[in-house]
Amino acid sequence: MQILFDGDWALTNTKLLMAKSCSSPERVDIRIDVHVVESDVYLSRVTSALARHDFRSSHLFATVALENVLKVLVKIDLQPFSNSRFIEMAEIAKAKLGIGNLFDEYVEMTDFGGANEAGARDRLRLFKNV
């Protein structure tokens, strides 16, 4: 985030305080624990779906579980997290932490490798219609 004008430094000071607070080891640990628990929940759903031979659901749940694992790695790398920049931040964490295989598997599972602007706009249009 960049602040363009802050005459009394209130926004700058708040930004610095929040950055310091959010990157404290305790806060990072709390957020990591949440993602680990969510990943575990989805992995148990994968197991349940596989037992019922529901392979579509198991694939979906495995993808969400892996996404939560990648969120843990983004947090470990202390990257700022937002859903709109998740792939970008995961790529940065991939480079810094050496998790290439895990990230590449996620991209393959989700079929994000073939994503392009026209496809994204088309999916957004379909979503708006729904």
Domains of the chain by residue range: 10-113
Each residue's pLDDT tens digit, 54-104: 999 999 999 999 999 999 988 888 877 778 888 888 888 888 888 778 888
pLDDT score of 50 more than 80: yes
* SS3 state of residue 88: helix
pLDDT score of 113 more than 90: no
Please state, as a whole number, how many other Cβ atoms lie within 10 Å of the Cβ of residue 50: 15
pLDDT band at 22 (very low <50, low <70, confident <90, very high): low
pLDDT band at 18 (very low <50, low <70, confident <90, very high): confident
